[in-house]
Structure 1
Amino acid sequence: MTVKIPGAFVGVNVGFGSTSLPAAEDVVTILKAHQFTHVRLFDADRRMLNALANTGIEVMVGVTNGELLGIGESPSLAAAWINKNVGAYLPATNITAIAVGSEVLTTIPHVASVLVPAMSYLHRALVASNLNFQVKISSPQSMDVISRSFPPSTATFNSTWNSTIYQFLQFLKNTGSFYMLNAYPYYGYVSGDGIFPIEYALFQQLSPTKQIVDPNTVFRYTSMFDAMVDAAYYSMGALNFSGIPIIVTESGWPWLGGVNEPDATAENAETYNSNLIRRVVNNTGTPGWPSLPVSTYIYELFNEDKRRGPTSEKNWGMFYTNGSAVYTLSLTSLDMVTGNSSQGVFCIAKHDADSKSLETGLDWACGQGKANCLSIQVGRPCYEPDTLQNHASFAYNDYYQRTKSSGGTCDFGGTAMITSADPSHGSCVFTGSSRSEMSGISTPFSAFGPVSTLSARGTTLQVPDAAVLIPAILAMFQILSSVSICTQFCTA
C-alpha cells in the first residue's frame, strides 16, 4: 500500500500479538501484494527478517522494552544484539532503522535513565561494524511526553524528563537520526471530550465556524495529526534543537470498539487511514514546517487479539491474516501515486494450509462457488504440478477474480491469501493474469456450470458431459457438412 517517493513514504507496523498469524513468508507476500516498501517490526523476529530478505522492503527492527535494561547497562550485550539481529541479516534484508523500546518514558519511566546509554551502545556497535551510515537509531515517543500540545506553538516537553529528553535529542542530532513520534488523533479526539470536532481528527474539511487556529502563529490547522507533529517540533525548539526531522512511527484508527467506544468504527478507520495516506503522499510538511514531509507508519497490518485493554485495543488491523481488507481504502495500493491498478492481485492457497481444509475449499470453489475448474483436470494446462495446493490456488483465484467486484473474498476457511506474484506458469495462465492479455490466451468461461472435484489431489475432475460432447458434436457436424456438400458438388 505504499510507495517510496522523494521525501515521504507510508509504511506499516506488523505486530505479533495475534493468535492466528500467517507464516512469515505469507506476511511478506501480503506486504508485497499491497506494495508496502517500509515495514516496522516491534522486535527482531528471525522468521520475518529471513522472509524479508531480497525484497527491497526497508525494515525497522525493534529492541523490546524487556531487552532495554540489559542493553543499557552492557556495551557487550548491545554489540551482541547488533551482531545477532542486524549484522547477520544485512545486506540481504534491508534493515535501515532500530527503534529502541516503545514509549519508554511514559510506559516504563523507571528505565528512562538507561534509554540514551542503550542507544549509544548500539550506535557504537554499528560504527564498529561500519553500519552506522545505513542504520539509524531512535526511540518512539508518545504524545504524552509533551505536557500541553495545543496550541502547537506553546508546546513543551514535560519537565519531568527534561534531562533525558535533552540527552535523547543531542544523540539524534549527533548521529543524524530522526525523532520517532507515535501520533494518534483517535486518542486526542476521545480524550478531548468534545473540545475538537471529529472532522478535525479524521482529516475532513472543517466548516468556517470550526476552523482550528494557533493564536500565536495564526497558522490554520486542518487536521489534529499536523498539530501533533508541529507540537513535537515546537517542543524540540523550546530546548534549542532544530533540524531533527520527525517520522511518525505509529498512527491509525481502530475499526471496532466496545459499547463505550462509539467512535471506533470501520467507517472512521477507513476515512482516517485513506486521508492519512493522501496527506502523506502529497509530500508536504506541516503549517509550522512546510518543507519537511511527514513519513508515517500506519498502525497496523493485522489485529492483535492478545493485547490487553478495551475492545478497540485489539482491532486496529487494516487486513485480515489471509490478506483480505477489513475495509476498502479509497487509495488501495496507492493507485493515485503509482499509477497501478488492482490487476495483478491473485488469491492462492496458503503454503501451510491443512490438506483436508484445502480439499474442502477446492470442492466448494469448483462446486457451489462456480469457479471454472476445467484447466486443472488431467491433460489440461494447469493440471501440473499435480498438487492439492496448485489445484486449490487455481480454483480459489478463478472464484476470487470473478466475484471480488461484487463482494467475493479470498478466504476459503482461512486456507487462502492474497498475493501480487502472478502464479501462472508454463502454459497455465491464471485468471486475471496480464499474460492472458498479452498472449491472447484466456481461460474458458464455464458455460455449462461448475466443475466439481471428487476428493484428494490427483483425482480426475468430473466435467459436465456437455463440455465433452460439444467438441465431438461440432466435429461430427463438420464431417456431415462436408459429406453433404461433396454429395452435391463432387460427383465425377
Structure 2
Amino acid sequence: MASTIFISLLIFLSLFSTAFSNGSIGINYGRIADNLPSPTQVVQLLKSHGLTKVKLFDTNAEVLTAFSGSGISITVGLPNEQLQQASASQSYTDTWVQSNIIPYYPNTLIEAILVGNEVFVDPQNTTTFLVNAMQNIYASLVKFNIVSIKVSSPIALSALANSYPSSSGSFKPELIEPVIKPMLKFLKQTGSYIMVNAYPFFAYTANTDTISLDYALFRANEGQKDPNNGLVYKSLLEAQLDAVYSAMGSLGFDDVKMVVSETGWPSKGDENEVGANEDNAAGYNGNLVRRVLTGHGTPLRPNEDLNVFLFALFNEDLKTGPTSEKNYGLFYPDEKKVYDIPLTTGA
C-alpha cells in the first residue's frame, strides 16, 4: 500500500512539474573573434549568470573539455562542409562520433547534434545531403548506444514560401518532397525537434513602413489579427514561429516540437540598418527572456513552452558582413555586459 501511494505521488509530482514547467533560455557561443576569454573562463561566466544551455557551431575539443562537469548542457554542430561525406558513408559518421562525441560524453552534457546550419541557403548547395547525413549521425549514435542525444538541423525562415499571415505559412515547394518531408519524418520518428533561426530584426529593418518597432520588440501594442483563424499576435517572433508551425501542419506534422536555435538583435549597425542600437537590443532580448520564462507558448501552440537560444554570447570582431554582424553579443570580450537584461527568473 505504501509503495502504491509513493508511486502515485511520483506520478502526481511529475504531472505537476510538467504542467507548470517554463520555457528555457540558452545562448549561442560563437568564436569568430581574436579577443575572447578562454573556454574555462566562459564556463564560469555562464554559471555566474545562471545560464545552463549553450549552443556551439562545431565540436572544438578545448571547449567541450572546458564544459566537462559544469552541469551546462551543450548543443554541438557538424559543419555544412562535412555534410557530403556524412551523407555518403556511415563509417564517416561512426568515426566522427568516436572522435567528437564519445571522448567527452557524458561528462560534458551533450544534448543535441545539429547537422549543418541553414543548409537551404548554403551557397555550396548541400541540401541534397542533409537528411542522409542526419540519418547516418543518428545511426552512429545508436551503434555506440548514445540514444539520449537528439539530432536536428537549423532552418532559416527563408525556407518558407509564405509567412504572412501565420496561418498561411508554407515551405518552398521545391524543398518539400526532396528534403522537408523526409526531415520532418526523421524528427518525428526519433523524438527530436525542428530548429528555427528567426530574426525579427531583419523583417523590421526591411519593412519599417509596415512593421512597428513595438511589435518587433515585444512591447505593448494593439497586435495583429490573423484573418484566417482570428488569433491575435502581439509580437513578430511569435507570428514567425507560428508560420513554421502552420507550414509543418499543412504537411501533416503537427506533433513535431520546435526549438528556436537563434534569435537576437544587434546593439550596433550601419546607417541603413534601422533599429540596430543598444536600447532596442536590450528591449528585444530582455522582453524575449521574460516572455519565454512565463511558460506560455505561441498563439497557435499555447501549451508548448518556448525554448530559445539567444544570439549571441559575445560580440565577434572577425565576423564579415555589415556592422551588425559583429554586434549581436550580450557581452563584450572582456566579459562586461553590453547591456543589462535578466537571463533567469531570479534576475
TM-score (norm 2): 0.92
Q: Which amino acid aligns with 2:303?
A: S
Give distance in 2, aligned partners of 1:193 and 1:100. Answer: 34
> 2:315·2:329 contact (CA, 8 Å) conserved in 1?
yes
Match of 1:235 in 2: 247
Partner of 1:177: 192
Q: Is the strand fraction higher in 1 or 2? A: 2
In structure 1, the gaps of 5 or more residues are: 341-492
CA distance in structure 2 between the aligned counterparts of 1:258 and 1:36, rounded to whole angstroms: 30
Q: Which residue of 2 aligns with 1:62?
A: 77
Deviations 1:357-384 (A, max 9, x none): xxxxxxxxxxxxxxxxxxxxxxxxxxxx
Which amino acid is 2:166 matched to? P
Percent sequence identity over matched residues? Answer: 37
**Quick check: 1:128 aligned with 2:161?**
no
> How far off is 1:107 after superposition?
2.1
Q: 1:284 aligns with which of 276, 296, 310?
A: 296
In 2, Cα distance between equivalents of 1:191 and 1:328:
27
Q: Distance in 1 between matches of 2:161 and 2:209?
A: 20
Q: In the TM superposition, what whole-angstrom CA distance separates every residue of 1:421-445 from its partner, at most 9, and x where no partner exists?
A: xxxxxxxxxxxxxxxxxxxxxxxxx
> Aligned ranges for residues 40-55 of structure 1 at < 5 Å?
40-55=55-70
Q: 1:165 to 1:108 in 2, by over 3 A?
A: farther
Q: 2:276 aligns with which of 261, 264, 274?
A: 264
Q: Which runs of 5+ in 2 are unaligned?
A: 1-19
CA distance in 2, matches of 1:283, 1:40: 21
The one-character-per-residue Cα deviations of 1:83-130 (angstroms, maximum 9, x if unpaired) are 111111111100010111110012246211110000000000010111
Separation in structure 1 between the aligned mates of residue 198 and residue 276 of structure 2, nearest angstrom: 16
Structure 1 position 309 matched with structure 2 position 326: no
Tell me the distance in 2 between the aligned counterparts of 1:258 and 1:152.
30
Rounded Cα–Cα distance in structure 2 between residues aligned with 1:124 and 1:298: 30
Aligned AA (1:139): S
Q: Give the drift of 1:7.
A: 4.7
Please give the secondary structure, in 2, of the residue aligned with 1:110: coil
C-alpha distance in structure 2 between counterparts of 1:302 and 1:240, whole Å: 39
**CA distance in 1 between partners of 2:250 and 2:99 (Å):** 38
Q: CA deviation at 1:131?
A: 0.9
Q: Pick from 93, 108, 113 the counterpart of residue 93 of structure 1.
A: 108
Name the CA distance, whole Å, in 1 between partners of 2:114 and 2:22. Answer: 20
Conservation of the 8 A alpha-carbon contact between 2:297 and 2:304: yes
| The one of 157, 173, 176 aligned to 2:171 | 157
Give 1:66 shift. Answer: 1.6
Q: Which residue of structure 1 aligns with residue 263 of structure 2?
A: 251
Q: Which residue of 2 aligns with 1:137?
A: 151
Q: Which residue of structure 2 aligns with residue 20 of structure 1?
A: 35
The verdict on how the C-alpha distance between 1:160 and 1:193 changes in structure 2, with shifts beyond 3 A counting, is: farther
Query: For the residues of structure 2 that align with 1:108 and 1:154, how far apart are their CA atoms?
Result: 28
CA distance in 2, matches of 1:162, 1:7: 32
Larger radius of gyration: 1
2:67 and 2:103 mapped to 1: Cα distance? 13
From 76, 81, 91, the counterpart of 2:96: 81
> Take 1:7 and 1:141, find their aligned partners in 2: how far apart are those partners?
24
Q: Hey, what's the Cα distance between the residues in 1 that align with 2:202 and 2:280?
A: 13
Distance 2:334 2:64 in 1: 20
List aligned pairs for 1:325-474, cutoff 5 A.
325-329=337-341, 331=342, 333-334=343-344, 337-338=345-346
Runs of 4+ in structure 1 displaced over 4 angstroms?
A: none
Measure, in 2, the Cα distance between the counterparts of 1:277 and 1:175.
Answer: 29
Give the number of the structure with larger relative contact order, counting CA–CA contacts within 8 Å between residues 6 or more apart: 2
The equivalent residue for 2:120 is 105
Q: Corresponding residue for 1:30?
A: 45
What is the match of residue 6 of structure 2? Answer: none
- Number of equivalenced pairs: 327
AA aligned opposite 2:28? N
Distance 1:109 1:168, change over 3 A: farther
Q: What amino acid sits opposite 2:257 in the alignment?
A: P
TM value normalised by structure 1 = 0.65
- Are the aligned partners of 2:113 and 2:151 in contact in 1 as well (CA < 8 Å)? yes
The CA deviation at 1:27 is: 1.1
Aligned partner (choices 126, 132, 147) of residue 117 of structure 1: 132
CA contact (8 A) 2:264 2:284 kept: yes
Instruction: Give, in whole Å, the separation in 2 of the partners of 1:58 and 1:46.
Output: 16
